Structure 1
Amino acid sequence: MQLIDIGVNLTHPSFAPEREALLARAFDAGVTQLVLTGTSLEDSEQALELCRQLDQGQRLYCTAGLHPHEASQWKSDSARALRGLLKEERVRAVGECGLDFNRDFSPRPLQEKAFEEQLALAVELQRPVFIHERDAAERLLAIVKDFRDRLPAAVVHCFTGERRTLYNYLDLDLHIGITGWICDERRGTHLQELVKEIPEGRLMLESDAPYLLPRTLRPKPKHGRNEPAYLPEVLACVALHRGESEECVAAHTTDCARHFFGLPEM
């Protein structure tokens, strides 16, 4: 089986001492390609540089964008800088961008402005979008609707919402990213019911490492940090609750991710 991890924060400082070993473990676990997440202009540049430094084949790609937590950093020349990054061959999507009305680390009007300008760049350059949303589904849907007909594709990364929100996203022909949240018996049980509602061709898997360590993982790593090598645990949980074999889910989620990001066959 081959898996593609569509969201890994490889720039996170906790990974710095062992990035090569981490990637080796991922490849050994069947995670053949990874998309590194960019969350600011600086972070996106670092993700791109890691792709160049660490990839000996066609395994590492990345996104470039500004996370809603960082929306206050969006300046008059940010679009120009981001446009340059998005023209790089290894950069395959705009993001992580979106709205986060849960923590409100940036004022909501600034979040909306940064999100809209990044969607405009995605339309201009015809790149897919990697979207973050927390407690902001209604407003996010209203913004995305204005751009959707001109966007090639968009994925709601780390989906954790309720049934109505899922259906609204699917009605807009959005893709859905599922993480180890689905393995969490405290807060992810509703996803176990919903995951079967996501059509083939719209579902992708992601670790969101170093966050969201699957709580079903045994043995648990002593450091308590998630990594792409644990993506098969997410696969197993998704397969169980979709009533499909792991081989089937691996095949259609990998095919979906490959087409979404325009990744080469391995």
Structure 2
Amino acid sequence: MLFIDIGVNLTNNRFNDDRDDVLAKAESVGVSTQIITGTSPEESEAAFKLTEHYPSLFSTAGCHPHDAKNFKTGDLSRLKHLLEQDKVVAVGECGLDFNRNFSPQDVQINVFKQQLELACEVQKPLFIHERDAGDTMVHLLQEYSEHLPDAVIHCFTGSRENLEQYIEMGLYIGITGWICDERRGIELANMVDLIPDNRLMLETDAPYLTPRDLTKVQKSELKGNRNEPFLLPQVAQKVAQCRRQPLEELADNCYNNAVRFFNLPMTQL
């Protein structure tokens, strides 16, 4: 089985000392490709630089809602320049976070709208962050729907109502190790079977969201509690179990969805 991790924060400094080992360990369990998340113009540039050194890596370019308050004149041009590169495959991580509000909501909306317009212009898919902002998110996506490319709600953790809205709108849904959390992932586990086979993708969001259902052996392979892409099959196994679906079937569907969504060159995989 092969897997594509659609969301890895590989530019995070927790990977600085052993990035090659992290990639090798992931490839050893079938994680053949990773999409490195760009969360700001600076991080997006760093993510792209990584893709130049590793054939199995691709990246996104965007501004996370937490960083929206720092988005300045000229940053949109920086993102657009990155998106002209073949290995930069999506606009994002962008979106809205009304849970933590590290940036004012009006600023988040303004910066997100700029990136929606950018996605419409360059016609590369959207990698979206949404927390406690479902209604506003739906409204904005509908506002740009005429020219909007494909979009994925990364690390979905919302309500059943929001999930059904996103599915109805034709969005893709990214599932992380959140679903493996017996404390807060139960609702997601109970509704992940609502996602159509052709709209589901998998991600670790490493180094965050380490699955809580690891074996002792898996835990012993971790550096502290740092999540890593080699744990993506663990997420896949949980999702398959919740969907009452054979793991190989789920893995194939998610792999093919990611290739199609990000327009990945199969010859490089």
| TM-score past 0.5 threshold | yes
The amino acid of 1:51's aligned partner reads T
Matched, 1:196 2:193: yes
Q: Distance in 2 between matches of 1:235 and 1:32?
A: 14
State the TM-score, normalizing by the size of structure 2.
0.96
Distance (Å, rounded) in 2 between the aligned partners of 1:110 and 1:138: 17
Distance apart, 1:10 and its partner CA: 0.1
1:119 match: 116
Residue matched to 1:41: 41
Alignment map for 1:101-120 (pairs within 5 Å): 101-120=98-117
Offset of 1:200 from its aligned partner? 1.0
User: In the alignment, what sits opposite 2:261?
Assistant: 260
Match of 1:90 among 87, 106, 110: 87
Aligned to 1:11: 11
Q: Distance in 2 between matches of 1:157 and 1:214?
A: 16
Aligned to 2:175, which of 178, 181, 205? 178
SS of equivalent residue, structure 2 residue 197: coil
CA distance in 2, matches of 1:123, 1:166: 23
Could you tell me the TM-score, scaled by structure 1's length?
A: 0.97
Matched with 1:165 is 162
Do structure 1's residue 230 and structure 2's residue 231 form an aligned pair? Answer: yes
Task: Give the deviation of 1:76 after TM superposition.
Answer: 2.3
**Counterpart in the other structure of 1:31:** 31
Aligned equivalents of 2:67 and 2:18: distance in 1? 27
In structure 2, how many angstroms separate the alpha carbons of the residues matched to 1:9 and 1:82?
17
Moved >6 Å (runs of 4+): none
Aligned-pair identity (%) = 49
Query: What secondary structure, in the 3-state scheme, does the structure 2 residue paired with 1:152 have?
Result: coil
Measure, in 2, the Cα distance between the counterparts of 1:213 and 1:80. Answer: 34
Q: In the TM superposition, what is the alpha-carbon distance from 1:74 to its structure 2 partner?
A: 1.6
1:22–1:222 distance in 2 versus 1, CA, 3 Å:
closer
Q: Deviations over 1:94-143 (max 9, x none)?
A: 00000001111111111000000001000000010000001111111111
Kindly provide the amino acid, as one letter, of the partner of residue 248 in structure 2.
E
Aligned to 1:209: 206
Q: How far apart, in 2, do the equivalents of 1:222 and 1:261 lie?
A: 30
Q: Secondary structure at the match of 1:167?
A: helix
Q: What's the offset of the Cα at 1:77?
A: 1.6
* Counterpart-to-counterpart distance in 1, 2:187 and 2:37: 26
Structure 2, unaligned runs of 5 or more: none
Q: Amino acid of the residue matched to residue 35 of structure 1?
A: I
Are positions 1:128 and 2:125 aligned together? Answer: yes
**74-83 or 29-38: which moved more?**
74-83
Partner of 2:60: 63
Aligned counterparts of 1:16 and 1:163: Cα–Cα separation in 2: 38
**Residues 1:140 and 2:137 aligned together:** yes
For residues 105 and 152 of structure 1, the distance between their equivalents in structure 2, rounded to whole angstroms, comes to 28
Which SS does the other structure have where 2:198 is aligned?
Answer: coil
RMSD: 0.8
Q: Distance in 1 between matches of 2:60 and 2:145?
A: 19
State the match for 2:246 in structure 1.
245
